[in-house]
Amino acid sequence: MFFLVLNGSPNKEGNTAVLLKEACRVLESLGSEAVLVQVSEVMAGVKQPFCLACSNPCNGRCYAGTVLEEVYNLLARADGVIIGSPVYFCTVSGQMKAFWDKSRRLRNNKDLLNTVGGAVAVGAARFGGQETTLRALHDIMLCHGMTVVGDGFHDSDCGHHGGCAQKPAAEDAAALMRVAVLARRVHEVALATRQIRAVRKQAG
């Protein structure tokens, strides 16, 4: 199976990247392909990074021929997505929000319907807005009709909403453990729902 992992931090090698690289490691250990995408670099290649609703329904003309279009094509064929963002005023980074605001065409085409998603967030404090950031990411995924993965069982706890870390994330052992659990859960649910995505993609 194929998984896309999106880093919404403007820092390519920062705390969010630490968590997402662990998620990639777990997904690859399960025999799947995982591609990590730096969202800030993708959005830097778009002339107008903010959605202006220039066409309705969206025809994607504002990002045609860009790396953003390539990443959206990867999203459309992904079995699962893991999204990470640092906490910016209790929600996602501006780069991450801009990335999803331009994804209206994917939603119109139902390209992410039944795609499995999970989320991770990093804050400066232990209780630094991580869960509201996760909820914002979940809302984005739910708007696309994705299947959102949250907590597991007591013996495999990824956190109520997903993986939460306090920086420095590399020293947050509990967070790294929970991100690994989340990656396994996303993989498990993606495997179980693989057929319904195949039917949808064949119909499309």
Domain ranges (residues) in the chain: 2-38+79-93+112-203
Residue 134 pLDDT: 94
Tally helices (H) and strands (E) across the chain. Answer: 8, 6
Tokens 């959206």, located at residue: 72
Residues 98 and 88: their CA atoms lie apart, in Å, by 14
Residue 126 pLDDT: 79
Tell me the pLDDT of the chain averaged across its residues. 91
Name which of 19-28, 138-147, 165-174 the model is least confident about: 165-174
Fold of the 2-38+79-93+112-203 domain = Rossmann fold (3.40.50)
Residue 169 pLDDT: 85
Q: Phi first, then psi: what are they for 53, rounded to 5°?
A: 50, 50
Beta strands in the chain (DSSP E): 2-7, 33-38, 80-86, 116-123, 147-148, 163-166
**Cα Rg of the chain, angstroms:** 16
The answer to whether the CB of 92 falls within 8 A of the CB of 15 is no
Q: Is residue 90 very low, low, confident or very high in pLDDT (cuts 50, 70, 90)? A: very high
Q: Phi first, then psi: what are they for 88, rounded to 5°?
A: -120, 105
End-to-end CA, the chain: 19
* Position 202 pLDDT exceeds 80: no
Name which of 32-41, 43-52, 131-140, 181-190 the model is least confident about: 43-52
Residue 56 pLDDT: 87
What are the pLDDT digits (tens) for 41-61?
999 988 888 988 888 888 989
Instruction: Supply the pTM of this predicted model.
Output: 0.92
The answer to whether the bond into 57 is cis (omega within 30° of 0) is: yes
Amino acid sitting at position 14? G
* Position 128 pLDDT exceeds 90: no
Tell me the sheet residues that pair with 7. 38, 84
DSSP 23-63: HHHHHHHTT-EEEEEEHHHHHHT-SS-S----SSS---GGG
The answer to whether the CB of 52 falls within 8 A of the CB of 78 is no
Q: Which of 190, 204, 8 is nearest to 108 (CA)?
A: 204
